[in-house]
Structure formats: structure tokens, C-alpha cells
Chains A and B, each alone.
Chain A
Amino acid sequence: MKPDLRNNRDFIAGLLFIVLGALAAFLARNYPFGSTMRMGPGYFPTVLGVILLLFGVYVLARGLRSGDKVKGEWGWKPLALIAASIVLFGVLLDRAGMVPAAVVTLVVAAAAGRDFRFKEVLLLAVVMTTFSVVVFSYGLKLPYPLLGSY
């Protein structure tokens, strides 16, 4: 029986640690390492990268042996939508202003939920955008344009 690695929890976790550890150590190769007495900027990250890699190997090996699966489904769709809503906020705030940024973020984030009711989301967008404008622009006096770019 061929073990299914794609959903093997510890195998993936180990792999992630190995990749990140190796990457950290690799990127730190250009930073002066120094000696134990006079550590250079490369010492600490290199050592950490190697330790992370070793933990990764251990976790990966354990995953191969136990074969425990990831619990539940991966929520790629909500994850992508939530991440997109956050990125859109950053993109829009500078270029279009606070009001469009808030509305778009709320609507895109709401789309990540299972139960998307269009009218309700519109209402939520209106209420929460007004609320944030009142609190952040008038209350805390954050200097962002409500509409339009800087």
C-alpha cells in the first residue's frame, strides 16, 4: 500500500520546516559568520536555519511512520478570498480612498463565508464602512482620503 503523502500532516509540516530552514541558512551564507566569540550577523540565522531543518527532518520522518492525516478539509477557497480581501484593501486605500477600500474588503471577505446573502452583505458594507469612517477618520483622525488618492 502506497502511503498518501499529500495529506500526511507531519510529512508536510516537516517538509515545510526543512524548506524554510534550508532557505534561511542558504540566504544567510552571504552574511559574515564570525566566530563564537565575535558573532557576525550570519551566525545566529545560520545556526537557526540548520536547527529548523533538523527538526523538519525529525517531524517528516515521524510523519512517514505514523501516517496521520490532516484533519478536515483544506479551506483553500475561504483562505484565498480572505487573503485577497486584505490585499485589495492595501491596493485600494492608496489609490481609491478609504470608502471603496472598506466596501471591497467587506464584500470580498464576506464571499469567503458559506452563506453569502447579497442584500445582507451590502447592508453590512454600508454600516461597517460608515462606522469605520466615523471611528477612524473622525474619531482617531487617521489621515486617509475617504475618496480618491493622495
Chain B
Amino acid sequence: MDLLANLALGFGVAFSLENLAYCFAGVALGTLIGVLPGVGPLVTIAMLFPITFHLPAVPAIIMLAGIFYGAQYGGSTTSILVNLPGETASAVTCIDGYQMARRGRAGPALATAALASFFAGCVGTLLIALAGPTLGEWALNFGAAEYTSLMLMALVASAVMTQGDSAKGLAMVVLGLLVGVVGVDVNSGMSRYSFGIPELVDGIGFTVVAVGLFAVAEIVVNLESREPREVYTGKVTGLMPTAQDIRDAAWPTVRGTAMGACFGVLPGTGPALSSFATYMLEKKLARDPSRFGSGAIEGVAAPEAANNAAAQTAFIPMLTLGIPASATMAVMLAALTLQGIAAGPQVMLEKPDLFWGLIASMWIGNCLLVVLNLPLVGIWVRLLTVPYRWLFPSIILFCCIGNYSVSNNPFDVYLCAIIGVLGYVLVKLECEPAPLLLGYVLGPLLEENLRRALLIARGDPTVFFTRPLSLVFMIATLLILVIMVAPAARRNRQPK
């Protein structure tokens, strides 16, 4: 079977000593930084992204993927022990996970989270291996028109489905597209929005935008809030869940995995929505829903499985179509692009070692997570007590060094400060930065495909509605808009 041969190739790549070392380094670094309170996966990736910049393509992407799930997992540790989610995806885990910790059951909560994540990770990886090639083959038939409408769908979905309101989300996408315009126009060679500054002719660097929007803005937001944190300082004892725990957690894990796997593929929804949705589902299915919120193990297992499954399947559209479904996947896409690889259906054919090596390394990474997390939990617990006033100056320093090292130019560092200020203002105005990042990453691709599609169609814009696949994407885009915007509009019309 093809799949087996491909997986064998993948494991061959991933098990090389070098790649194994990068995978391990990624997972370890990701967990280490992700577990620090107030540092979410996006900040972690944005900060560590420049390190991978100097590596060859395969180890670079393997390491980044490792950082990603390491950080994601580190986030659940903080949720359980500190009641402080690194990102929205693990916010649900706080509810019951932290309660379990307060009742002295931090150990089983952590173990359940790790094992549920591991299970979901395995299933997710398998799904990528199964669905990837099929989807990729299908996508090979896509023309410029299909790509344009697909990107439009992804952008609209990401804007509308993130928390906050849709109008601002859409505006942020447009703003991101405009940021992506900066630099030389590939078709005409004209430089746009560069104000005669030579550094801007190449466009605004990805690290600059990601670090500015997420790391800098988030740090300032954290500094201004005054709520004291209650840190769980007790010892974590009795790691292993009881037989009853395992019985309670088994089905929720499976259901969470299924739900997360579906949500992960959808643009804009990703891990966050899937963990909320599964938590709600488990609460509905539970014989005694009142236990939820006071330390129900299902409330840890299901959302953790869901967000990990979603985190894995989110790779599917990114790897096979070149369309990132979330801000983190946008980082991955940017990493591939910087390595000179155009993500899309061709990657699988032209770079099978990269594609299958990454998939195999995901599975290895998930194993490493369990190995790294359960026995070493004592170290992570101690890291949680590091005060934020030591952390944030260090994060700023690393971001500066990282930014500088990408281009060896102080201009990028200045630009990062400017984008950080803009990012902070936008966050205060409750405009989600994630759609902006997606717009920025997809902008040049969207413009390119839009131009090509209309050139082929001789300027006839109906081309997006006459080609069947493109029509499907357009209808889906409209549906997303109608479903998400209509209730909000109705609510607005009613007098308050």
C-alpha cells in the first residue's frame, strides 16, 4: 500500500539522528516556554521562529511543529495548575482542571490531559496521512479562480468565527491584506507603500508582524492588568489516574478527538472553538452535569483531546492547499515560504521527504510530549512560579535578537516596535489580531491568483461563479457570512 510506503519514508526521515534531535529540541523548548505563565503558543512560536531560520527546510519545519505542540501542551499545564490559559484553546481546561488541582488531584489531571492529548495526536496524525494525499490530488486541479475563492472563504471564515464581532474581524483581514501589499509588486516590479525606504521594498518581514502583534501587544496587555494570580504551589503527587478516572475519561477523549479533528480543518475555528464545543457536549451527555465546574475529569480529557486533534488536523489545509486555518498555521506557512517552499499540493509530490517526514515527526513529537511531561512535571511546576516581572523583559530581549537576526538590520527592530504599538491599540479596541496575520500571509497569494483568474477570464468576474468548485467555495463563503452575521444584526436592531 502507498500509505505504508510513504509512512516508511517519513519515519526514515524523522528517525535520522539530526531530525530526531530537532524534534526533541522543538518539543522541549516549546514546552519550556509554553509552560511559563502568560506566554501562549503564538508568542512562543513567534519568538522561537528566527532560530529555525538558519536550518535546512526539513529540520526547520520539524522543529517548528515540535515547538507548536510543545507550547500547546505547556498551555494546558498552566491552565490546570495556575488557572491561567496560555490561549483560548485551553481556557476550557481551566474550569475543571484547576478545580481538580485545588482538590489535590493535579497529578491525575495532568496525566489525563497528557494521555488524552496523546491519543488525539495519534489519531490526528493518522488523519493527515490518510486525508492529505487525497485532498492534495484533488487540489491539483485547482485553477486560479478556485484558489481565489478558497482563500476568500478561509479569510472570511477566520474573521467571522473568531471571538469578537465580525465587522471588526473582516476589517482586520482587509488591514492584513494591505500590510501584505507593502513591497515590490511581482507583476509590474513597482514598489508599493515603501515610502522610499529601501528596507520596505522587500515587504514587511513575517517575524516583525508576528512578534509585534502577538508578543509585544500581549505583554503590554498583561502588564496593565492588575489581577493577582493565584498560583498552585502544592506538590503534585500521585500522577497516575485511577481505574475509575480512566473509565470516565475514555469516551470523552474519543468524542473530543472526533470533534476536534473536524473543527481543526475549518478555517478560523481551530482548537479554541472545538474545545468549547466538546466541553458543552460532555456536559449535556453527562449523567450528572453538576459535577462539571467542580473538577470533573471528563472536563479535562475531552477539551484537551479536542484541541490537540484540532491542532493536528489544522495542518491538513496548510500542507495540502497552502491555506492556513489559524494564526499558528500562518506561522508554519511563512516558515515554509521563507525556506523557499511554496506550500500547496505540489509539496507532497516534489518534497515527499518533507511532507511525510513532518507527519512522522508529529507522531514522534506526541510521544516525546508524554515522556517529557509526565516524569518531569516537577520541573514544570517550579517554572510556573517564575514571576512575570522576570519573564517579560527576557521575552522582549529574545524577540529583539530574533528579529534582528532575520535580516541583520535594525530597521526590522524599529518596525516591530511600531507594529507592537498598533497591535496593542487594536487589542484594546477588541479587534482580534489573528485575522490580520492571516490576511497578511495570504495577501500576496490572493492578489496573484485574483489577477491571474481575471486575466484568464478576460476580465469577466463571473468566472468565480461559473466554475463549479469555485461556486461551491463562494456559496460557502456567503453561508458563513449569513449564518454568523444575521444573528448579530438582529440583536443590534433590538433596542437595548
Instruction: Give me the interface of A with B, judged by CB distance under 8 Å.
Output: 9-10, 12-13, 16-17, 20-21, 24, 27-28, 31-32, 35-41, 44-45, 48-49, 51-52, 55-56, 58-59, 62, 66, 70-75, 78-79, 82-87, 89-91, 93-94, 101-102, 105-107, 109-110, 112-117, 120-121, 124, 128, 132, 136, 140, 142-144
Contacts and interface: CB of A to CB of B under 8 A. Distances in A.
A65 B496 CA distance: 10
Given A31-B190, A62-B167, A109 B181 contact: no
B454 interface: yes
Nearest to B496: A66
B51 A83 contact: no
Contacts of A72: 224-225, 428
A93 B410 contact: yes
B171 A17 contact: yes
B contact patch SS? helix
Interface in B183-207: 185, 187-188, 190, 192-193
A37 B454 CA distance: 5
B259 interface: no
Given A86-B416, A140-B54, A36 B454 contact: yes
Contacts of B414: 86-87, 90
A9 B393 contact: no
Interface stretch (B100-108, B304-312, B399-407): B399-407
Interface stretch (B34-42, B262-270, B418-426): B418-426
A89 B192 contact: no
Given A114-B223, A140-B54, A48 B174 contact: yes
B111 to A, nearest CB: 32
Contact of B413 (A21, A35, A89): A89
Contact of A56 (B171, B400, B410, B492): B171
A38 B400 contact: no
Ranked 10 nearest A-B pairs via Cβ: A37-B459, A75-B224, A90-B413, A90-B410, A55-B171, A109-B393, A41-B185, A13-B429, A89-B400, A86-B417
Given A17-B171, A62-B492, A70-B428, A128 B393 contact: yes
Nearest to B170: A55
A82 to B, nearest CB: 6
B167 A55 contact: yes
B50 to A, nearest CB: 9
A4 to B, nearest CB: 15
Given A85-B396, A90-B413, A124 B181 contact: no
B219 interface: yes
Nearest to B195: A27
Interface residues of B, number: 67
A91 B393 CA distance: 17
Nearest to B439: A48
Given A20-B178, A89-B413, A93-B410, A112 B223 contact: yes
A86 B217 CA distance: 13
Interface in B456-474: 458-459, 461
B185 A24 contact: no
Nearest to A59: B167
B73 to A, nearest CB: 23
A31 B167 contact: no
B192 A31 contact: yes
Nearest to A75: B224
A97 to B, nearest CB: 13
Given A70-B429, A109-B393, A136-B401, A32 B188 contact: yes
A62 to B, nearest CB: 7
Contact of A109 (B51, B397, B426): B397
Contacts of A73: 224
Contacts of B461: 36
A41 B190 contact: yes
Nearest to B459: A37
B219 A82 contact: yes
Given A52-B174, A90-B404, A91-B410, A128 B396 contact: no
B177 A41 contact: no
Nearest to A129: B397
A48 B192 CA distance: 14
B175 to A, nearest CB: 6
A141 to B, nearest CB: 9
Contacts of B167: 55, 58-59, 62
A74 B223 contact: no
Contacts of B192: 28, 31, 41, 45
Interface in B27-73: 51, 54
Contacts of A128: 393-394, 397
